[in-house]
Structure 1
Amino acid sequence: MGNNHRQSRVAQEPSIDRRTVMKASAALGTLALSGATFGATGVKALPDGPEADEDTVALQMFHREWTEIESRIPDVADSGFDAIWVQQPAEMKLDWNDLTYDGTMGFYDEVGPYGHRDPHPPIGYQPVDLRNFDSSLGTEDELESLIETAHEHDIEVIVDTVLNHMADPVGPDGRIDWPQFDENEHFHNNGTLGDDCRVDGEAANYECDLLGLPSLDIEHPEVQSAHEAYIEKIASLGADGLRYDAAAHVWPWYFAENVNPLADDLDLWRVAEVWEESDIDRLLEWADTGMTVFDFPLHAAISDAFENGSMENLSQNAAPGVAHRDPSVAVTFVQNHDAVGPGVQPTDDAQTVPEGRAVELAEAFILAYAGMPMLYRSGPEEYHELEDEELSTLVTISKEFAHGEVIDRDVGIDHYVFEREGNLLTGINKGGQPRSVAVDSSWANTVLVDATGTGDDIEVDSSGKITVEIPAEGYVMYVEDADSIPAERGVSFDSLEYTVDEAESVDIGVTASAGDEPLTADVTLAVDGTEEATQSVDLDTESSTAVEFELGTADLDDGEYDLKVAIPDDSDTATLLVGSEADGGDLTLRTTVDVGYGQSVYFTGSTDELTDWGGGIEGTWSEGNVWEVTIADPGEFEWKTRRGPSGETGDVWERGDNHDHTDLEPSHQGWADDD
């Protein structure tokens, strides 16, 4: 919660495998240098229900106007983040010049607990009118535009939501009125929690003012109606989720019976701020009202371990954490606008980045650990996290590989090695000397590669024991080498479409794979349901082989035919175009590659239909960064892709050899200007 003091922490209780092996790129080391992604993008970031999705990495973006945040959305997408959390949009009491920051005095004389790091107090947490979304952060239209731009880049938006209170009536320009609410009718008016609160017991947490901010009476039907309209308006702008500010000071029944059912109806994900660092049962009871919670107990352990304490206190056996009990409701974090990260020191220099290596190592920890990570870095002038290629690589590793049960493998004062069962082996070392640690693992007879691109490959023998070398003040993230992962049992065509002139022969390429058992079988090729050829294969476990059929077409008329290749327990299909159908029909070229905001993929080749190696034909984008173009089939040709600004032409060539007319959906080879 952002106000003029740190939020109070109250202890009273409210009333209320499948193993997946992710395949790493064979060139993980080079990806670490470029900040590129390993897998497909374009999927929904936040889960449909109120769960903390380990496929999602979110970024808190505060202290900027809507238009500035919108301008950085392409950078957010390029950095790999799936969602952003922004401040509350309602009309607010304070403006930018009312804030204390870097020694500048604002409306509140005192510097906040982390006033050296963030504007104090943050804009947005003292609402005046929940109906008016024009504020110091920008206009309602600008917020809607921000959300639309985020969605265009597959970024979802979590909007802060203040339900507990309204603004302190004493403002910079005199007393403030709340146009929606009556001071005597809609507020509790029981004094301030921890000061002159006139309510005893558990009710004090919910019916006395927090930090002097007037507590709304959520039992009043007009307050409930105002909150309903407020949340519906946030949803109407396209928001994907809510962060409930100061949730620990709103009666839990209100979330269970009113707020979360409404959020469900509006398809809004949600996370609650319940600042409790020790009582995990209490946090889980809040989650049971229908939402996720920030993992404050794990945050406290992280701060201790990476600052002055032992990493042993971060292990599962020692550290408290919602992520240890129920990771599906745990949103993990290293710091936020209220809670400072490990090792962060005051600075009076607005250009100085306060975060150091301790924060970076802690971020590596939560990105590899259980729960859904929410990252935040303060930034007096710039979002330096969006320029951090090391962090971008970690975000991608988190989404691709940080899945499965957490298994502690070794822990000491300065190091912690843990595994996400069968998917990721992480070693973190906060000490000043390199660390060599021998551990057990879930792998056997394979090779692990460091997805960060820094550590040497590790060969795992049949016992599963390996030695992990962790650099000083560094980390390694080991995953199974893609080249050591056997293909699944099956058979597949090498192309989606084959073309041939009438009466000529065509080579049909097929790949057969054994999987985890030997494969002895006939591979059959059929044309329009009629078997035309058979070849036998005899494969050892985890091996593959190429099978090539020479198919004659003398008995086939011009036209389009269905091809089917099969083994006893698997099959695949493709299309055969013969004669004039091959010459005059259409075909589609397709590739999967991320080119960034404002760029397009252009298809060019050795035919007029593809601009005869000119600038190319602009492709059409679809979900998953799939680009394609459909042209009249010119027969035999070669082709390649180029990259360039949308609506113009391609000027950057794809690397590697040209593709040909038999390879219509090849893997992209990267761009000529890639590092």
Structure 2
Amino acid sequence: MRLALLALAASVGGAALVPTATAEVPTAAPVRGPIVQMFQWPWESVARECTDFLGPKGFGAVQVSPPQEHVVLGDQGYPWYQDYQPVSYQLESRRGNREQFAAMVRTCNDAGVEIYVDAVVNHMSGSGSVGSGPGSGGSTYEKYDYPGIYADADFHGCRRDIANYQDKWEVRNCELVGLADLATESEHVRTTLTAYLNDLVGMGVSGFRVDGVKHMPPEDVGAIFGAVQNVPGTGARPYVFQEVIADGTTTAGEYAGNGDVTEFGYYGVVANAVRDGSLAQLANLPERMSLPSDQAVVFIDNHDTQRSSPILTYKDGVTYDLAVAFELAYPYGTPQLISGFAFDDPDAGPPAEADGTTQAASCDNSAWSCEHRRPIIAGMAGFHGAVQGTELTNWWDNGGGQVAFGRGDKGFVAINREGGELSQTFQSSLPAGTYCDVMSGELKDGACTGTTVEVGADGRFDATVAPNSGLALHIGAKL
């Protein structure tokens, strides 16, 4: 089976043998700006982008790719998924070493951008990596034998691929495409994983995206992450959000006691509506989701869906940008964006040197897709921060592909996915004044580089929105 399926689920469980704990659940989105997954970006490139763009534009957090030592699959062209096969917990990956990682965390924190690590805690390397050693940090290993870390007894006894996804025991105990499935119910495994996570938090990491959670019992996840220390300097609990691809056997809500959960239903509903020009159906979006807003992390695409089940991706141009704009404007869930690299082969790894180490990421290089720098998406990052905590107000639609809505008295957005112009007098709750449309420009040195809109004392304004475009006003971009 193709290893590109790895990150779509990652597996394990069993009866708890040691006391369990539940991670403390954040009561609100942890940051004002959105989370952006800088997929496969090297540490030095992430640090530079935090300072130069992400912090100034209002992005709240970066989700970085797994930083631990991983297999090196040179005979397979160094595919992206090798990073999801750990062989140790030393911070030596193709994106950089421990010192570079620590410097990135400091730099991004100084820029007001938190770092969330993509945490692989369910498994180690797989059958497809046998004979591929050493790892990215030079470690020798064999499947089920990682010297000084894990031995044979630390893995589940069901050493075959999951065959029946309707059997919860099998989903949590057998192997996903040959990956060595950790016995996360054991005290040694839990202690080892928590030590790795504490090492990261001690460097200033503020949270974790937990990979493949449905393949672990909720009590195992709670015990591991519940034992992680508070973030130094802030005393806050690390933010935890869990990748759960729900189905008839596993629900997202089973894991909500440990932290937030990815709402996979969201991207299908929203991306299809934007693609098909049926935006009016999104008025009551929360009613169609399985999780309440304060427990959900939402996305239009991520590194898995881009490759396995794409609806809209960076390849779809402004239609994709408008879907992300809706995600950042509508008050449901914590938004997660992605910024990765261009690909045609879904297995392909990032731009790399001859030895497989990742080249510096730059948005001047078309090999990096840099979705976060697209003008509509970058402008809406600031919109999201400006409207946090406000209700949906003043909804309007034409029954099809044209919608508009407000966020209390802090913002207003209109999106047009039809072939004709949307010319309308809109009713908002914004204070009177002149606003910069952040989908077409930005407020810079007291002037707007795009379109301006005059809002009257009654909150009303006239605007024309071109086909396949949008308009967004918020109080942080008021002249």
Provide the alpha-carbon RMSD of the alignment. 3.5
Aligned to 1:374: 336
Quick check: 1:460–1:466 contact (8 Å CA) kept in 2?
Answer: no
Q: SS where residue 203 of structure 1 aligns?
A: helix
Aligned to 1:338: 304
Letter in 1 for 2:155: F
Distance 1:146 1:9, change over 3 A: closer
- Determine whether 1:454 maps to 2:451: yes
User: 1 or 2, which has the higher strand percentage?
Assistant: 1
> Which SS does the other structure have where 1:148 is aligned?
helix
Match of 2:176 in 1: 210
1:468 shift after superposition: 5.5
Counterpart contact for 1:436–1:468, Cα < 8 Å? yes
Instruction: Please name the residue that 1:274 is paired with.
Output: 244
Match of 2:346 in 1: none
Question: In the alignment, which residue of structure 2 is the partner of 1:182?
Answer: 151
Residue-by-residue CA offset, 1:7-62 (whole Å, 9 max, x unaligned) = 5679xxx99xxxxxxxxxxxxxxxxxxxxxxxxxxxxxxx9936424612222112
The 3-state SS of whatever aligns with 1:214 is strand
* Amino acid aligned to 2:57: S
Contact 1:190–1:209 (Cα < 8 Å) also in 2: yes
Matching residue of 2:445 = none
TM superposition shift of 1:165? 0.9
Distance in 1 (alpha carbons) for counterparts of 2:286 and 2:241 = 25
Q: Partners in 2 of 1:283 and 1:407 — Cα distance?
A: 28
What are the equivalent positions in structure 2 for 1:130-209 lying under 5 Å apart? 130=89, 132-171=90-129, 173-174=131-132, 176=143, 177-179=145-147, 180-183=149-152, 185-192=153-160, 194-195=162-163, 201-209=167-175
Q: How many residues align?
A: 411
- 1:59 paired with 2:56, answer no
2:408 aligns with: 421
Q: Distance in 1 between matches of 2:228 and 2:295?
A: 19
Where in structure 2 are there 5+ consecutive unaligned residues? Answer: 16-23, 133-141, 343-366, 439-449
- What is the CA-CA distance between 1:3 and the residue it aligns to? 5.0
Superposed displacement of residue 473, structure 1: 1.0
For 1:295, the equivalent position in structure 2 comes to 263
Superposed, 1:104-115 pairs within 5 Å as 106=77
Secondary structure in 2 aligned to 1:91?
coil
Q: 2:412 is aligned with what amino acid?
A: L
Alignment equivalent of 2:378, drawn from 388, 392, 395: 392
> Is the contact between residue 175 and residue 181 of structure 2 (CA under 8 Å) also seen in structure 1?
yes
Match of 1:646 in 2: none
Aligned to 1:237: 203
Residue identity in the other structure for 2:416? N
**By how many angstroms is 1:457 displaced?**
2.1
Structure-1 residue corresponding to 2:350: none
- Measured in 1, the distance between the counterparts of 2:130 and 2:478 equals 64
Cα distance in 2 for partners of 1:151, 1:265 equals 12
Query: Secondary structure of the equivalent of 2:181?
Result: coil
Structure 2 counterpart of 1:430, one-letter code:
R
- TM value normalised by structure 2: 0.75
CA–CA separation in structure 2 for the residues paired with 1:263 and 1:436: 54
Give the aligned partner of residue 315 of structure 2. Answer: 354
The residue type paired with residue 71 of structure 2 is: K
Deviations 1:253-278 (A, max 9, x none): 12334423435587321111112379
Q: Following the alignment from structure 2 to structure 1, what is the Cα–Cα distance between the partners of residues 286 and 425? A: 21
The answer to whether the Cα contact below 8 Å between 2:435 and 2:477 also exists between their aligned partners in 1 is no
In structure 2, distance between residues paired with 1:264 and 1:70: 23
Separation in 1 of the partners of 2:270 and 2:427? 25
Inter-partner Cα distance in structure 1 for 2:87 and 2:160? 19
Name which structure has the greater RCO, CA cutoff 8 Å, separation 6+. 2
Shift of 1:450: 4.9
Instruction: Give the equivalent residue in structure 1 for 2:49.
Output: 72
Distance 1:200 1:83 in 2: 36
Match of 2:292 in 1: 326
The aligned counterpart of 1:405 is 391
Shift of 1:142: 1.5
- In 2, distance between residues paired with 1:73 and 1:220? 38
Distance 2:292 2:131 in 1: 47
Q: Which amino acid aligns with 1:378?
A: G
Distance 1:200 1:191, change over 3 A: farther
Structure 1 residue 86 displacement after superposition: 0.6
**1:299 CA drift (Å):** 1.3
Shift of 1:330: 2.3
Match of 1:473 among 448, 454, 468: 468
**1:81 aligned to 2:59?**
yes
Residues 308 and 332 of structure 1: CA distance in aligned 2, closer, same or farther (over 3 Å): same
Aligned-partner Cα distance in 2 for 1:355–1:482:
28
CA positional deviation for 1:208: 1.6
Larger Rg: 1
Deviation (angstroms), 1:212: 2.4
Q: Which runs of 5+ in 1 are unaligned?
A: 16-46, 100-105, 108-119, 345-352, 485-675
Is 1:124 aligned to residue 83 of structure 2?
yes
Whole-Å separation in 2 of the counterparts to 1:481 and 1:149: 25
Distance 2:25 2:219 in 1: 22
State the Cα distance separating 1:459 from its structure 2 match: 2.6
In structure 2, relative to structure 1, the CA distance for the partners of 1:317 and 1:63 (3 Å cut) is closer
Distance 1:222 1:343, change over 3 A: closer
Are the equivalent residues in 1 in contact too, given 2:296–2:334 (CA < 8 A)?
yes
Decide whether the 8 Å contact of 2:41 with 2:65 is kept in 1: no
- Deviation of 1:399 (Å): 0.7
Letter in 2 for 1:155: V
Whether the aligned pair in 1 keeps the contact of 2:283 and 2:395 (CA below 8 Å) is no
Distance 1:87 1:3, change over 3 A: farther
Compute the displacement of 1:304 (Å): 1.0
- The answer as to whether partners of 1:435 and 1:469 remain within 8 angstroms in 2 is yes
Cα separation, 2, equivalents of 1:300 and 1:168? 30
Deviation at 1:437, TM superposition (A): 4.7
Q: Secondary structure at the match of 2:5?
A: coil
> How far did residue 483 of structure 1 move?
8.3
Identity of matched residues, %? 22
2:202 and 2:476 mapped to 1: Cα distance? 45
- Contact conserved, 2:68 with 2:93, CA < 8 A, in 1? yes
CA drift of 1:143 comes to 0.8
Contact 1:429/1:470 (<8 A) preserved? yes
1:244 touches 1:273 (CA, 8 Å); kept in 2? Answer: yes
Deviation string for 1:619-659 (max 9, x for gaps)?
A: xxxxxxxxxxxxxxxxxxxxxxxxxxxxxxxxxxxxxxxxx
Looking at structure 2, the residues matched to 403 and 50 of structure 1 have their Cα atoms a distance apart, in angstroms, of 12
SS in 2 for 1:375: strand
- 1:208-239 per-residue CA deviation (whole Å, 9 max, x = no partner) reads 21232121111112111111211111112221
User: Distance between the aligned counterparts of 2:287 and 2:69, measured in 1?
Assistant: 41
Deviations 1:591-620 (A, max 9, x none): xxxxxxxxxxxxxxxxxxxxxxxxxxxxxx
Letter in 1 for 2:265: P
1:94 and 2:76 are equivalent in the alignment: no
